[in-house]
């Protein structure tokens, strides 16, 4: 719900449990006055009183009040060069060549529902009753540049989505050299910053540090959101944790270069800004043109990180994931990559399908190596025609379907091998800059999908395969970062627009495919989880979480990923590698979109039996895991020996608890306190028939000492209301 107090000039944005308050102050400056636990409507005007001067910092010219400086005020959408020396969200280079920018409040509008931000991915809202949108127009009197600040407030979960449309309403061209999506100013610094760092095979590792004066944060200038840092950050009040404390979550719906930065100033206030990374960014705006920033998703939780995560999960499951597989059951797949790498032919893949079918697996995915002349990673990206020396595609697809299995395929559409027909014909279609040799990565170059002709070519090639054969699933990969970032079609004055144009090109391609093939299940991938972000989730409901399939390593990766992203989005497979037995592999993979990544011909009879049991469990717990709520009971960043998590159904009638022993301890007693149950309900432990009250399970804990085994073992407890 959004209200505007005309007299006090206060905007109040309420979600079920949070309030966000802004005020129009003297000289039409827009201030961020409060963000936190929901406040009653009366009395909030008192927030506008704020007596902080900033010695040495200039004051607002029209106010000339020693006590009032934008350098100390909580600016809602901070600008560059007008006396606020902290991080700015907007910096516009004007006709005079300077970047002094000013924005003053002009007007507002409140409408039900949420505006469409296409071609950018964004949260959507099919039912206008679920959310309201506030649009505040700000204007720079000198340049005529307008910024419309959009806030969509959800009535069903504690989420606010923000983005900005910047319009050149002046007579002269300007250049945006910083155009971020959102800012939040908080009047304190007693928070810890949590971010998700990583690398290939070690994605989204939890990292927590106390805020310090100055700037801290995360960014990517790799052309992708990246393995190195996820476009996510959280602030948690000092001493807060999984279940207690104020937690603020920040996530950018964008798959390219990003920045999320927190600056603690001289008054111990904290400013968070987020948006496109300004390092390699500029955007030319001619008179009348406008630029839309990516969307920022902001969550407040008064019950620590756990509730923050569950809020993100609900928002993304309801308002981000689209298409048939938003609700439809995802097929249980087997992928050929770790089973065969490039070494396969028709018969080998058919044998995978036959063995897999015997265990109940539902789909065969043919990974890299089926096209052009590709027998290793040195060639053929861009040549999207069947390698007929290797494959009888019609026989393969028909045989697999005749067995009752679905069939999936791998692509890497935004790449080009220097050894390919496509590169020989169009060397200028590779991303490059004049005068420099391209730096290869995994022996490949990046394809310039900022160009429409390039996108048309790739779309056409891929369509002819996807339309000729019945393809049920498409894995969309991206296996290197972007260097020498330039396009043959961009003039020098637009060179810094490349990165954003590139990602817009990717989104356009994905949009075309998802519209043309609405029944195909898309799984995103970037060498594992190098583009695990909400931008990608808008087009593909699941993402391959990591190439690391070792279940113990996966714990940190999946726990970290779960900070922001729901279980249904995390591709998780059982593979032959890894330090544990198949039961632990299955228990850990069951958290995500489940599958296998191994040669089923090599499974022993005992292993095959385990797989059959796992397939049955996958079906049994599917709804509970997909639709239930996640509770992190013991996180691997808090405990080096053991971790545990549970899914609890929305109606609190059932729960599945999983415990993994990473390293055996000498502890004599392991009593695990559960979360999220109804204290007044009674639950039966399916394994032994014992009945416990929800209160006992949560406040005293479930005695599990006897179930804990050796290093690398796991167990599950299923509880159902009696």
Q: Which residue of this chain has its Cβ atom nearest to ligand DGJ in the complex? A: 368
Nearer to ligand DGJ, 284 or 378 (CB): 378
Site string for ligand DGJ, 440-479 (x = CB under 6 A): -------------------------------------x-x
Sign of the torsion formed by the C-alpha atoms of 669, 674, 679 and 685: negative
Label each residue of 615-679 as H, E or C.
HHHHHHHHHHHHHCEEEEEECCCCCCCEEEEEEECCCCCEEEEEEEECCCCCCCCCEECCCCCCC
Phi-psi domain of 28 (left: phi exceeds 0; alpha: psi -120 through 50; beta: other): left
As a whole number of Å, the CA-based R_g of the chain is: 26
Nearer to ligand DGJ, 544 or 559 (CB): 544
414 is a contact residue toward ligand DGJ (CB under 6 A) = no
Closest CB 412 distance from ligand DGJ, rounded Å = 7
417 is a contact residue toward ligand DGJ (CB under 6 A) = no
379 is a contact residue toward ligand DGJ (CB under 6 A) = no
Nearer to ligand DGJ, 211 or 365 (CB): 365
* Pairs from 370-373 (Cβ < 8 Å, separation ≥ 24): 370/409, 370/410, 372/417, 372/420, 372/421
84 is a contact residue toward ligand DGJ (CB under 6 A) = no
383 is a contact residue toward ligand DGJ (CB under 6 A) = no
Nearest to 88 by CA among 178, 26, 189: 178
Nearer to ligand DGJ, 79 or 366 (CB): 366
Positions in 474-503 near ligand DGJ (CB under 6 A) = 477, 479
Pairing of strands 642-648, 406-411: unpaired
Nearer to ligand DGJ, 337 or 718 (CB): 337
Which of 367, 523, 629, 654 is in the footprint of ligand DGJ by CB under 6 A?
367
596 is a contact residue toward ligand DGJ (CB under 6 A) = no
Q: What is the DSSP letter of 700?
A: I
- Percent helix, strand and coil across the chain, each rounded to 5? 25, 35, 40
| Number of other residues whose CB lies within 10 A of the CB of residue 512 | 16
Closest CB 324 distance from ligand DGJ, rounded Å = 23
Positions in 511-530 near ligand DGJ (CB under 6 A) = 525, 527-528
Given a contact cutoff of 8 angstroms between Cβ atoms, the answer to whether 236 and 188 are in contact is: no
Site string for ligand DGJ, 527-546 (x = CB under 6 A): xx---------------x--
Closest CB 531 distance from ligand DGJ, rounded Å = 11
Nearer to ligand DGJ, 217 or 595 (CB): 595
547 is a contact residue toward ligand DGJ (CB under 6 A) = yes
Binding residue count for ligand DGJ, defined by CB under 6 A: 11
277 assigned to active site: no
370 is a contact residue toward ligand DGJ (CB under 6 A) = no
Cα separation, 413 vs 477, in Å, equals 7
Nearer to ligand DGJ, 553 or 613 (CB): 553
295 is a contact residue toward ligand DGJ (CB under 6 A) = no
Q: Which residues contact 650 (CB under 8 A, 6 or more apart)?
A: 627, 628, 629
Which of 140, 242, 282, 368 is in the footprint of ligand DGJ by CB under 6 A?
368
H or E segment and range at residue 110: strand 104-112
477 assigned to active site: yes
How far from 30 is each of 75, 85, 177, CA to CA, in Å?
6, 17, 22
Q: Is 711 helix (H, G, I), strand (E, B) or coil?
A: coil
413 is a contact residue toward ligand DGJ (CB under 6 A) = no
Out of 132, 140, 265, 477, pick the active-site residue. Answer: 477
Cα separation, 130 vs 315, in Å, equals 11
> Which residues participate in catalysis according to the annotation?
477, 547
- State the residues that interact with ligand DGJ by CB under 6 A: 337, 367-368, 410, 477, 479, 525, 527-528, 544, 547
């Amino acid at each position: 719900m959004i209200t505007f107090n005309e007299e006090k000039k206060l905007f109040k944005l309420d979600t079920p449990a949070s309030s966000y308050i802004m005020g129009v102050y003297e000289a039409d400056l827009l201030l961020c006055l409060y963000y936190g636990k929901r406040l009653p409507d009366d009395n909030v005007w008192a927030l506008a009183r704020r007596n902080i001067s900033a010695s040495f910092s200039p004051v607002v010219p029209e106010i000339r009040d020693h006590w009032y400086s934008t350098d100390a005020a909580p600016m809602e959408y901070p600008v560059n060069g007008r006396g606020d020396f902290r991080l700015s969200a907007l910096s516009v280079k004007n006709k005079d060549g300077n970047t002094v920018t000013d924005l003053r409040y002009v007007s507002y509008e409140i409408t039900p529902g949420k505006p469409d931000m296409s071609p950018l991915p964004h949260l959507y809202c099919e039912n206008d009753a679920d959310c309201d949108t506030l649009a505040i127009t700000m204007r720079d009197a000198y340049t005529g540049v307008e910024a419309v600040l959009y806030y969509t407030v959800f009535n069903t979960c504690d989420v606010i989505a923000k983005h900005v449309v910047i319009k050149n309403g002046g007579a002269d061209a300007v250049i945006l050299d910083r155009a971020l999506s959102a800012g939040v100013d908080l009047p304190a610094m007693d928070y810890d910053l949590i971010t998700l760092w990583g690398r290939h095979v070690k994605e989204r590792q939890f990292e927590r540090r106390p805020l310090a004066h100055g700037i801290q944060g995360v960014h990517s200038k790799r052309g992708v959101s990246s393995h190195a840092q996820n476009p996510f950050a959280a602030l948690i009040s000092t001493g807060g944790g999984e279940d207690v404390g104020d937690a603020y979550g920040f996530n950018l719906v964008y798959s390219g270069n990003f920045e999320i930065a927190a600056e603690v100033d001289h008054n111990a206030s904290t400013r968070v800004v987020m948006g496109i990374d300004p390092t390699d960014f500029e955007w030319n705006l001619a008179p009348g043109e406008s630029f839309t920033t990516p969307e920022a998703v902001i969550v407040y939780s008064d019950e620590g990180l756990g509730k923050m995560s569950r809020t993100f999960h609900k928002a993304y499951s309801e308002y981000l994931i689209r298409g048939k597989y938003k609700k439809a059951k995802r097929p249980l797949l087997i992928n050929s990559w770790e089973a065969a790498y490039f070494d396969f032919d028709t018969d080998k893949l058919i044998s995978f399908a036959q063995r897999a079918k015997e265990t109940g697996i539902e789909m065969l995915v043919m990974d890299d190596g089926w096209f052009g002349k590709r027998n290793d990673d040195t060639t053929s990206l861009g040549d999207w025609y069947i390698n007929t020396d290797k494959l009888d595609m019609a026989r393969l697809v028909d045989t697999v379907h005749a067995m009752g299995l679905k069939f999936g395929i791998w692509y890497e559409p935004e790449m080009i091998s220097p050894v390919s027909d496509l590169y020989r014909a169009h060397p200028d279609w590779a991303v490059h800059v004049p005068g420099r040799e391209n730096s290869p990565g995994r022996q490949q170059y990046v394809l310039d999908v900022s160009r429409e002709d390039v996108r048309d070519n790739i779309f056409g090639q891929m369509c002819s395969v996807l339309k000729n054969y019945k393809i049920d699933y498409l894995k969309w990969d991206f296996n290197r970062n972007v260097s020498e970032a330039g396009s043959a079609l961009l003039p020098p004055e637009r060179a810094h627009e490349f990165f954003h144009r590139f990602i817009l090109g990717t989104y356009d391609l994905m949009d075309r495919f998802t519209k043309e093939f609405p029944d195909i299940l898309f799984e995103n991938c970037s060498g594992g989880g190098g583009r695990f972000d909400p931008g990608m989730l808008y087009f593909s409901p699941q993402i391959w979480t990591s190439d690391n399939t070792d279940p113990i390593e996966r714990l940190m990766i999946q726990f970290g990923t779960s900070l922001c992203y729901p279980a249904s989005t995390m591709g998780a497979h059982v593979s032959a590698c890894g330090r544990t037995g198949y039961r632990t592999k299955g228990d850990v993979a069951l958290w995500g979109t489940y599958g296998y990544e191994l040669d089923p011909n090599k499974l022993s009879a005992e292993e095959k039996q385990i797989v059959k049991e796992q397939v049955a469990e996958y079906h049994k717990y599917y709804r509970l895991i997909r639709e239930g709520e996640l509770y992190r009971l013991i996180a691997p960043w808090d405990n080096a020996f053991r971790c545990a998590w549970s899914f609890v159904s929305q109606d609190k009638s059932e729960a599945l608890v999983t415990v993994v022993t990473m390293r055996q301890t000498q502890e004599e007693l392991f009593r695990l306190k559960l979360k999220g149950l109804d204290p007044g309900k009674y639950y039966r432990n399916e394994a032994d028939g014992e009945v416990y009250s929800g209160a006992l399970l949560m406040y005293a804990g479930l005695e599990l000492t006897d179930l804990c085994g050796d290093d690398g073992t796991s167990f599950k407890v299923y509880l159902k209301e009696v």
